[in-house]
């Protein structure tokens, strides 16, 4: 009976987290870009998994209840998420239309960023995106908080496992696409699509606000 409960809680965390992170968001695109460039991919994956586990854990521990009981705060996070996504989309389109070789040059050895610079950029995208808190802390955390006792942390482990699987797959896909992105046109296409997707996501978040 106990084993069944543990398996059920782990699977719930895995399924819920995977269903939310398997989408084209700012964090996913950043990791994909680093994987294509072959720059500190393992560190990026480790950061994403650890931050997902931490944020879901905070939600399970009670932060989800705080956000859920404060519609004003939740609304502010949604609006902040809209602004963040719009800004990210505009930066992507700036690279695509005004600095079309930026992606290609970033892959060159002459301007490679160190691990601290790469992780700092990922930390900004992860922690300063207000919409992340709605997904991981409020939504996933509130579901995990419904688990009984210590099963809450089994749920968090399941969520972290889903994050690990997804970002390893994303990193592998990026490595496989390195040949494609040797062509600067591929970077322009990626940045154009990235900007468009960020604008669509911003509109979706705005509609939900």
Question: What integer pLDDT is reported at residue 95 of this predicted model?
Answer: 83
> For the residues 16-31, what does the mean pLDDT come to?
82
Pick 50 or 1 by higher pLDDT.
50
DSSP H or E stretch at residue 135: none
- Name which of 15-24, 80-89, 191-200 the model is least confident about: 15-24
Query: How much is the mean pLDDT over the chain?
Result: 83
* Contact in structure between 197 and 24 (CB atoms under 8 Å): yes
How many residues are there in the chain? 209
Question: What integer pLDDT is reported at residue 209 of this predicted model?
Answer: 57
Pick 1 or 30 by higher pLDDT.
30
Domain boundaries, given as residue ranges, for the chain: 2-208
Query: Quick one: tokens of 44?
Result: 């990026």
Question: What integer pLDDT is reported at residue 39 of this predicted model?
Answer: 84
Provide long-range contacts, Cβ within 8 A and 24+ apart, for 181-187.
181/36, 181/103, 181/104, 181/107, 184/100, 184/101, 184/103, 184/104, 187/95, 187/96, 187/100, 187/101, 187/102, 187/103, 187/104
Reduce the DSSP state of residue 21 to 3 states and report it. Answer: helix
Question: What integer pLDDT is reported at residue 108 of this predicted model?
Answer: 43
Highest mean pLDDT among 40-54, 169-183, 187-201: 40-54
Pick 89 or 108 by higher pLDDT.
89
Reduce the DSSP state of residue 128 to 3 states and report it. Answer: coil
Distance CA 209, CA 206 (A): 5
| Phi, psi for 23 (deg, rounded to 5) | -155, 160
> For the residues 114-119, what does the mean pLDDT come to?
87
């Amino acid at each position: 009976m106990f084993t069944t409960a543990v398996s059920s809680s782990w699977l719930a965390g895995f399924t819920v987290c995977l269903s939310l992170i398997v989408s084209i968001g700012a964090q996913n695109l950043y990791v994909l870009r680093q994987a294509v460039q072959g720059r500190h991919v393992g560190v990026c994956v480790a950061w994403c998994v650890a931050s997902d586990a931490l944020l879901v854990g905070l939600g399970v521990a009670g932060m989800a209840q705080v956000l859920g009981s404060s519609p004003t705060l939740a609304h502010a996070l949604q609006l902040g998420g809209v602004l963040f996504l719009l800004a990210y989309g505009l930066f992507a389109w700036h690279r695509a239309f005004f600095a079309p070789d930026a992606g290609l040059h970033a892959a060159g050895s002459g301007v490679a960023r160190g691990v601290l610079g790469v992780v700092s950029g990922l930390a900004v995208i992860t922690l300063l995106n207000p919409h992340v808190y709605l997904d991981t802390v409020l939504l996933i955390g509130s579901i995990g908080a419904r688990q009984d006792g210590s099963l809450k942390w089994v749920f968090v482990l399941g969520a972290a496992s889903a994050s690990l699987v997804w970002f390893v797959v994303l990193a592998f896909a990026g490595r496989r696409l390195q040949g494609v992105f040797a062509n600067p046109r591929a970077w322009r296409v990626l940045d154009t699509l990235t900007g468009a997707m960020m604008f669509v996501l911003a509109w979706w978040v705005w509609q939900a606000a």
